[in-house]
Amino acid sequence: MWLTIQLVSDIFEGLDRARKQVFRKRLEEQDLETLRKFFPYFKSLRPQHQKEFKHRLELVLTEKRFYPRGGLKEVTKEMKLLIGATIVQVVFGFKELRLRHFKNILIYPDTYLSTISNQQHAGEVNPKHGAIVLSWKSFAKGLADEKDGINLGIHEVAHALKLENWIRSNDEINFLHPKLWSEYLELSEMEMEQIQEGKDDFFRKRGGDDAHEFFAVALENFFERPEEFQNRKPLLFLVLVKLLRQNPIVLKQS
């Protein structure tokens, strides 16, 4: 009986996957132009990786729901493209990963008063509502200054990635290798201590708040300043390369 149920569910899943492939939102040439212009990661990829990136972005845009908030009139195509591209960038090393739990993307025009913390926020993730929340102004600023190690989009997607790995109700669990994760944890604890004691001048202070913030800040630097990261923190950089299954330096050079 179990086998039959499993089989039926496998068939449904297969059909669903096929449906999404066929009916996925297609990107046009002008969308790729937007990416080349405003999304440095995409521009720096080799042609075959750009092709894969495009395909995966189409699937992300098919699955996510975008909502304007706080007086934002509409979510533009450009917003969808660049936010979707940030998700693909962070999960690019995992072929099937799209952070499915976080279906809803809420966009505010600027910073907003968070109902969770009752403070002004530029972004947050809300696992209960499967939501990633972003201030468009802060997101765009993070993207525009591509080498300062501050990128709100990457920061929030990193939070979502870490949560997705441990949320039991989805099929995207435990993709972060446990052994690599514990290696990462050990190194990150030392780094956090350095930040807290004011002895580190690479990561920003926010990274010393807690383990979640450190992971998000580390990923901002991993993508925006990979060369410097590798020089300054070679062990941590290497374990992140293995953990995320991509090396932004190699992707850029090849």
Q: Which residues bind Zn ion (CB under 5 A)?
A: 213, 216
Nearest CA among 115, 153, 150, 117 for reference residue 132: 153
| Residue placing its CB nearer to Zn ion in the complex, 151 or 230 | 151
| Residue placing its CB nearer to Zn ion in the complex, 104 or 114 | 114
| Residue placing its CB nearer to Zn ion in the complex, 160 or 216 | 216
Min dist CB 216 to Zn ion, Å, is: 5
Min dist CB 140 to Zn ion, Å, is: 18
Min dist CB 213 to Zn ion, Å, is: 5
- Measuring CA to CA, how many Å separate 132 from each of 72, 87, 144, 164? 16, 11, 20, 12
The single-letter DSSP state of residue 225 is S
Min dist CB 192 to Zn ion, Å, is: 14
- Measuring CA to CA, how many Å separate 213 from each of 155, 157, 203, 208, 222? 8, 12, 11, 7, 14
Phi, psi of 40 (to 5 degrees): -55, -35
| Residue placing its CB nearer to Zn ion in the complex, 42 or 108 | 108
| Residue placing its CB nearer to Zn ion in the complex, 159 or 233 | 159
Min dist CB 241 to Zn ion, Å, is: 22
Question: Quick one: tokens of 147?
Answer: 């080498």
**Distance, first Cα to last Cα, the chain:** 51
